[in-house]
Homo-oligomer: A and B are copies of this chain.
Amino acid sequence: MARYFEDVSAGDVYELDGRYEVTREEVLEFAEKYDPQPFHLDDEAAADSIFGSLAASGWHTASMCMRLLVDDFLEPETSMGARGVDELRWIRPVYPGDTLRVEVEILETRESDSRPEMGHVRTQLTGYNQDDEPVIAWKAMGMTRKRDAE
C-alpha cells in the first residue's frame, strides 16, 4: 500500500533497507562528467587534499542517496517532487569501497494552501557509511499526494 500524505507524521523514522556500494569506477565516471576537480579524479591530488584519498563528489553522494530514497521511500503514486533542500551537509568524505544506507525522519507535515490534492512534507535525510558514520545529511521539502484526492 502506498504511503500518502495522511500516512506520515512528524517524528516517524524510516530506516531504509537499500544499500549502495560505491565503486571507484562510478566515482570517476561521475566526477569526469559533473565534478572534474583533481581530488575526485586523481589519487595523488586526492592524497594532498582535505579528503586524504580519492573521494566521491558531494553531488554524487547526494545522487546515490537519492537512488536509495527512490527505491525504498518515495513512491510513484504519491511522490510529487520537491521544491528544494536545506542544510545539505557533506559530513565525511565518501570513498570507493564504502557502502551507503539512508535514514529518513519526518520533520513536519503541512497542508498545501493552493493545491488541495497534496501536502508538504519536510524530511531529514541522513546517509551513513558501513561504519554507521554519517556522511551526508539534508532537509528536503517534498510534496506528497493526499489519499482524499483520488
Interface residues of A (CB under 8 A from B): 30, 33-39, 45, 49-51, 57-60, 62-64, 66-67, 70, 74, 76, 79-90, 138, 143
Contacts and interface: CB of A to CB of B under 8 A. Distances in A.
B58 A59 contact: no
B51 A81 contact: yes
Contacts of A82: 58, 90
Given A36-B70, A49-B81, A85-B85, 9 more contacts: A33-B63, A34-B64, A35-B67, A37-B74, A45-B76, A50-B143, A62-B62, A84-B87, A86-B88
- The number of times this chain is found in the oligomer is 2
18 contacts: A33-B67, A34-B63, A34-B64, A34-B66, A34-B67, A35-B66, A37-B76, A38-B76, A49-B81, A50-B81, A57-B66, A59-B62, A59-B66, A83-B90, A84-B90, A86-B86, A86-B88, A88-B88
A30 B64 CA distance: 11
A63 B74 contact: no
Task: Count chain B CB atoms within 10 A of each CB in A38, A74, A76 and give the residue with the most.
Answer: A76
A70 B35 contact: yes
Nearest 4 CB-CB pairings of A with B: A84-B89, A34-B63, A85-B88, A59-B63
Nearest to A63: B34
Contacts of A89: 83-84
